[in-house]
Structure formats: C-alpha cells, structure tokens
Amino acid sequence: MSKSDDNATIEREHQTRLMEAVLPHVLFDGWGPKAVKAAAADLKEDVAIFDLAFPNGAVDMIRLFVENADDAMEAELAKRDVLSLKIRERITLAIRVRLELYAMHKEAVRRAVNILSLPQNVPLSLKLTANTVSRMWWATGDTSSDYNWYTKRMTLAGVYGATLLYWLSDKSPGHEKTWEFLGRRIENVMQFETAKYKCRERLKEKPDFSHFPSPKRFWRNFTDR
C-alpha cells in the first residue's frame, strides 16, 4: 500500500469516527449543525474539525454513511457465502442485509433520504444508489459487461429503492412485511427476466410463416375483381 493510500485510509477512519459521533444525535437534531455541535461536545473536540472533515456538511456525512454501509454489506455477504445461493436468493439477501445494517439508525436513514430528495442533491442520490446496487451485483457474482450490466442495475435500483421506502414506514415485528414486499418485487423481476429471455430466444429462431395464408391468394382475388 502506497503512502497516499495510507493517508486516505487514515482520513477515512477519522471521518468515520466523527460521523459515528453525530449519528446518535441525528434522531433529534437531524444531520445539521446542532447534531454536529453535540457530537463535538461528546468527543471534547472543537467543532471546526467537523467543518474540515465535511466541507459540504450534511451531504458529505451522508455520503460516508452510505459508503460505509456498502462496505459492511459486501463483507457480510462474503461471510454468508452468498455465491453458493441461487441468483434470486443472492439478490434478496443482498437487499435484506443492506437494510438490516441500517436498522439501528432508521431515523437517520429517513432524514438522509429527505435531504437527498432535495433538487440540488438528486445527482448525489442517483450516484449513491447506482454505487450501492453495483456493489450488490459484484458481491453476488455478477460478471456481465454488455448491455445487461446496465439493465441489471436499473432493475435492481428500482427494487432496492421501493423496498427502502417501504422499510422506512414498516412497523411490523422484525420488518416482516418489508421482506414479504421484497419477495414480491423479486418475483416480478424474475418473471420479467424469464419473459425477456424467451423473447430473445424466439428472435434467434427463423420465423415460421407456414401456417399463414399465402399472400398470392389475396393478390389473385384482388386482380380477379
């Protein structure tokens, strides 16, 4: 590892320490200055170190929060030997693990979603979602490099986004209703993929028009008039 890599790692650890100090206060104060001041007091640090670590304030902290959850998701999936599962089970597990990692900070996630929904933050929101679903596919063994690379990620982004929003409002024990919702969304995707595969295979076949009436018959009837 190069010196620059070492420095980047140290900086990331420093930022993570500060962000995790803010998290308990997000429940009451959001991702704003009040939560930062409270975190600085907890750490007995000058609040200025937060400004240096997160120049863009809340959005920088949220970005780190999401990226750290992506790291933890990949590590957890590797522990669970995800590649031994069927593809449907892999993707279901990836989304479930990703949301379970958020369970302790559900309100922080809700407030983060609200901030990322603001017009000026939509590009970042799309980028973070794209990165999350890409890492889900990589962690579950996807090696596609053609147009499927894009379609898989677009499809998974839709499923993950819908499930995340459902999860945020779900008050059922153990988020049971969320996992049922996720199962239905995955089933819809699998049906679509099956239909798409069958359509693609049929297009490869030479069309059989033997059961259609000969166009000569219609032409003859027309000229006989």
CATH number, domain of 161, equals: 1.10.357.10
pLDDT of 43 higher than 50: yes
Same domain for 181 and 84? yes
Binning pLDDT at 50, 70 and 90, where does residue 146 land? confident
Q: Which residue has the higher pLDDT, 65 or 88?
A: 65
Number of independent structural domains in the chain: 2
* Position with higher pLDDT, 119 vs 148: 119
Question: Is 174 found in the same domain as 131?
Answer: yes
| pLDDT the model gives residue 150 | 86
Nearest to 163 by CA among 82, 100, 112: 100
Determine what percent of the chain is predicted with pLDDT higher than 70. 82
**Top mean-pLDDT range of 174-178, 203-207, 209-213:** 174-178
Query: Do 77 and 94 contact (CB within 8 A), yes or no?
Result: yes
Instruction: Please work out, in degrees rounded to the nearest 5, the angle formed at the alpha carbon of residue 174 by the alpha carbons of 172 and 180.
Output: 70
Mean pLDDT of the chain: 87
Residue 210: φ, ψ to 5°: -65, -25
Confidence of residue 209 (pLDDT cuts 50, 70, 90): low
pLDDT at res. 3: 66
In a domain, 159, yes or no: yes
Q: Which domain holds residue 191?
A: 58-202
Q: Does residue 168 belong to any structural domain of this protein?
A: yes
Quote the CA–CA distance of 107 and 120 in Å, as a whole number.
22
Say whether both 172 and 93 belong to one domain: yes
**Across 33-58, average pLDDT:** 97
Closest CA to 152 of 187, 125, 190, 119: 190
Assess if residue 221 is contained within a domain: no
In this structure, are 152 and 171 located in the same domain? Answer: yes
For 16-39, what is the mean pLDDT? 97
- Mean pLDDT lowest for which of 37-46, 148-157, 194-203? 194-203
DSSP character for 174?
G
Please check whether residues 184 and 130 belong to one and the same domain.
yes
Give residue 223's pLDDT. 47
CA distance 122 to 116: 6
| Phi, psi angles (nearest 5°) of residue 47 | -60, -20
**Quick check: 148 and 155 in contact, CB under 8 A?**
no
Contact assessment for residue 133 and residue 157, using Cβ atoms and an 8 Å cutoff: yes
- The runs of H, that is alpha helices, within the chain are 3-29, 33-43, 48-53, 58-79, 87-100, 106-116, 122-139, 147-169, 176-204, 215-223
pLDDT in tens, 66-109: 999 999 999 999 999 999 999 899 999 999 999 999 999 999 99
In a domain, 150, yes or no: yes
